[in-house]
Amino acid sequence: MRTNLESTDWLEEPAWNGTHLALKHAGAALAVCSREGLLVGATPSAFSLLARVGISTRKIPCPLPLLWERLETSPPGEAIDWRPPNSDVDGIRLGCTRHALGGAYFLVVMREISDKHVTLAQQLHRQRLEATGRLVAQIVHDLRAPLASIVFDAEVLADRGRELDPTALHTTALALRRAADRLRKTVDGLLGFAKLGPPAESHADLGEAVERTCSLLRPSLRNGGHRIEVDLSPNARCVQASPLVVEQILVNLVMNAVEAAQAPITIRIATWRMTHKVRIVVQDNGPGMSAESRARAFEPFFTTKPRNSGLGLTASRDAALDAGGDLRIESSDQGACFAITLPSPAGSPAP
């Protein structure tokens, strides 16, 4: 990737020649920084965005002291929400994510985040916490089994470790590691789902999002005897949206179906590609929705379930709209059917 915008020997080259990307021609807000936090190159939209929040980039390379201090404390790939101290630009802040670019540089992906985006992130966070609270009691069962295994094997090693032959010792150690890994994955799933962060634009792998959703909801599915069928089209497995937001929408829709069911149901998640978007359908063969529920489903605080705030579908549709897509209820002969549309990644082939 070429980063020196003051050089003019490549301005007549195409934006992408198969090997190099010319930053001048890239539409996204991308910046290239050294490991020390010096800005060495950026796209025009990135320069414009930095200027809007009061960062001067008239001379390259230049430092990004306050912004880089914040980026440096966040792991690569994790989005941050940053606004300059004492900024006189009302309602404007930056959402930034840094990625390793070779051994000497970082690529910083930026976007403008208005107060509307921040409000949406907070609303999603509150709804995620509510959903997490509803799941915790059921997930405790999945935590007990590996924890009991860890305690048992640890006691065996403590009491009889010196008596065990190498094979038995190795087997016990492997069982400990497997149980600890199960415990870690369950806890990581909960922590990841409850995590607060700006809805930074990125690519979400639908296969991974569906897998994490099924893993998080496995106790609820198992206790009710419910099944999930997945049919992901090969050319509709990635969308341009935050993976966390996609996962939250799926969790909300599957939880709604499970909580409305009085008997075991089958929930089908399918995707297919449209011209510039990906369509995701979540359909169940449960009792369905009344006419009033369909008409008011996206109203804030409307709910037919006890101990439910009624924000799940509202937050999910707002998140889909914010990502450039939509969430709608569709007619169905049986059960409930929700259709999510989200933008396909830029540059991905049309169907």
Which structure tokens are listed for 300?
Answer: 């804030």
Can you point out the beta strands (E) in 66-115? 80-82, 92-101, 105-114
Residues 144 and 108 in one domain: no
Whichever domain contains 51, its CATH number is 3.30.450.20
Burial grade of 32 (CB within 10 A; 0-12, 13-18, 19 or more): buried
In a domain, 350, yes or no: no
Share of the chain above pLDDT 70, in %: 75
Residues 84 and 152 in one domain: no
Residues 167 and 273 in one domain: yes
Residues 196 and 77 in one domain: no
pLDDT value of position 230: 94
Q: Which residues neighbour 126 within 8 Å (Cβ) at sequence distance 6 or greater?
A: 311
Share of the chain above pLDDT 90, in %: 25
Q: Which residues neighbour 131 within 8 Å (Cβ) at sequence distance 6 or greater?
A: 193, 248, 251, 252, 255, 312
Q: Which residues neighbour 117 within 8 Å (Cβ) at sequence distance 6 or greater?
A: 95, 198, 199, 322
Per-residue pLDDT tens for 35-85? 999 999 999 889 988 888 888 888 889 999 889 999 998 888 888 888 877
Q: Which residue segment(s) compose the domain that 81 sits in?
A: 23-114
Which residue among 114, 140, 164 closes a domain?
114
Which residue among 114, 140, 172 closes a domain?
114
In a domain, 178, yes or no: yes
Residues 164 and 259 in one domain: yes
In a domain, 17, yes or no: no
pTM for the full predicted model: 0.52
DSSP character string of 15-66: SB-SS-BBGGG--SEEEEEETTSEEEEE-HHHHHHHHHTT---SSSSEE-HH
Average of per-residue pLDDT across 173-195: 70
The single residue listed with the structure tokens 């960062």 is: 55
Residues 64 and 172 in one domain: no
Residues 135 and 272 in one domain: yes
* Runs of H (alpha helix) within 26-165: 44-52, 65-72, 115-160
For the chain, counts of helices (H) and of strands (E): 8, 13
**In whole angstroms, how far apart are CA 101 and each of 1, 36, 74, 142, 262?**
9, 13, 16, 39, 52
Which residue among 114, 143, 161 closes a domain?
114
Residues 146 and 99 in one domain: no
- Count of domains for the chain: 2
Hey, what long-range contacts does 4-8 have (CB within 8 A, 24 or more apart)? 4/40, 4/41, 4/60, 5/41, 5/42, 5/60, 6/60
In a domain, 151, yes or no: yes
Whichever domain contains 139, its CATH number is 3.30.565.10
In a domain, 261, yes or no: yes
CA–CA gap between residue 115 and residue 93 (Å, rounded): 8
In the chain, the largest separation of any two C-alpha atoms, in whole Å, equals: 75
When pLDDT is cut at 50, 70 and 90, the band that residue 170 belongs to is confident
Residues 167 and 259 in one domain: yes
Residues 100 and 206 in one domain: no
Residues 87 and 140 in one domain: no
Residues 127 and 260 in one domain: yes
DSSP state of 2: B
Per-residue pLDDT tens for 226-280? 999 999 998 888 998 888 788 888 988 998 898 888 899 999 999 999 888 999 9
**In whole angstroms, how far apart are CA 90 and each of 86, 115, 191?**
10, 9, 32
